[in-house]
Structure 1
Amino acid sequence: MSVTRAVIRSTGHYLPARVVPNAEFAKTLDTSDDWIVSRSGIERRHFAAEDEYTSDLAIKAARAALDNAGLAADDIDAVIVATSTPDFTFPAVATQVQAGLGMRSGFAFDIQAVCAGFVFALANATGLIMAGQAKRVLVIGAETFSRILDWNDRSTCVLFGDGAGAVILEAQTGTGKNTDRGVLASDLNSDGQYRELLYVDGGVSRTGTAGVLRMQGREVFRHAVEKLATSANSALDKAGLQADDVDWVVPHQANLRIIRGTVQKLGLSMEKVVVTVQDHGNTSAASIPLALSVANAEGRFHPGDVIVTEAIGGGLSWGAVVLRW
């Protein structure tokens, strides 16, 4: 029986020009390169310029994905942007991307699930393709987290960076078996009782301000490893696969210790993990598509490879997607 699969046609990414090494924080905070690296694995990150916005990053990543696919903007039916740092309260960043690319048809919307946003967006884009609502969907994770950081809080401001990554999902015919290329399964979760573990203390309705990020790092870590491993295993089970079938894990790039803990719990080797956190920091919803694009550009993925992506963020919201390259 033939089915419609959502297959990754191409990837693309963009990073702002300004690179901020750990040493820059040591000038104003009681911290050091050794302290940051030992607790997070982060060595540097990129910050957007003052006149550079989330939509700008998203458009540049989108153009890279289009170029890599040999497609034009008019070949895209829908744009989904995962972000927690939009240019405006509304309209959606995705509509700005649509305009920036010169698209005059199709539809565009944002998804807000913080660091898990790209996983949620990928699952939703897959649903649109399988339902026949779109043939090609541009899925983007884009963030300017540097705009919502407390520069006096050394436990958070050293962790985050700005960037954007994009994938083009395309409808292709499959057999319905897990040997098909494309997204094979997803697992999405949230639990609002944990809001205060990771949140921003501002908002349109409550304060009329953007606010800054607040995080209980130890508690987030405690939840992250267990929830990420459980979600990844659940998605693999839905796909009829096991951890031994996995060729690559492309995790949310939040913290190297979380990545290692999750992979260990899955029973996999770090040799199968794409790690970019040292160069990008935590770029929230952008981290997985950034890592996918970087690894793809390096030629790491091969047709038929089984890839697991997983992420957890504020909400708490978390999930995983299993796909075959």
Structure 2
Amino acid sequence: MKRFDFRDEIHRLDPEADCVRIMQILNAHEFPWDMGRALGIALYRTYAVPSIGELLGSTDQFTGQTQKRYDDTALILNSMMRYGFEPGQGRDSLRRMNQMHRSYDISNDDYRYVLSTFVVMPVRWLNEYGYGWRRLSDHEISAIVHYYRRLGRYMGIKEIPESYEGFRDLLDAYEKEHFAYTEGGRKVSDSTLDLMVTFYPPRVAGLARKFSMAILDESLIETFRYEPPSKAWRRSADIALKIRAKVVRRMKPREEPFWADQNPNIRSYPDGYDVNRIGTFPAGCPVAHDVDPVAHEELYGKKDGGTAEAAGTTEAAADGRV
């Protein structure tokens, strides 16, 4: 296999109809490490929004059980990408994620913002920051947009942007308006950074912490009230990531896919996991855990004038139980 064979395969596919396959190639073959870093930063950004940071801080999931929450998030998101949204583990992961989200009072605006971070941050990491071994093409960016638009619909999110530019503008405007310091957001940020340091040998823990801080943009540093990293550290981190990109460009393509459950940093389930049993199950959760909280004709098709398989959830959604 040649270095650009996967890129060429992507460009033979349709960015909307084949968005799941394109995302599988981008995340498991072309950029597994980069996509992991970019999506990690995407999730981290959300802690700076008070409504999100305070909610996560209050649940204790991102502070008292940081490793498990990190693992659950990675496994659920990765499972949907790996298996798609057809019946099986991919749809089970979608159902599990929706069940968790519907247990909390989350606004549509916050949902839209979080979705926008998933779209925008990989593009910024690879293209704008220059940390990818190659740039994403417009064709690939379109596939990313279509994938997350589809996921957003399955989550029941309304008024989803239709283009990359729409997602980018939404993210920038939302952060400018909403980023603010909260105790809960700072606690979740501290716990997350503490976890990241454990992914490296103890002898370099201090350097790893400084490196992690150096790749955070000024808006995050200011919002969480951290001591700004020095210009030398920022420059060093930028150079190191760009050198890595040049090295990866000269490596052979990854023929075997790399998925989240192969990542040694995922530590909570050494004997395997059941996607239906991971994540949070809040006490008194109103959601029935054997149905989808959101009914979708796109997923299930029409049956007798309604949706098949998920029809039993429509009444629950209507009366607010989900």
**Hey, which of these two has a bigger chunk of helix by percent?**
2
Higher Rg: 2
Fold-level similarity (TM above 0.5)? no
TM-score class, shorter-chain normalisation, is under 0.3
Normalised to the residue count of structure 2, the TM-score between the two structures is 0.26
Relative to its length, the structure with more strand (as a share) is: 1
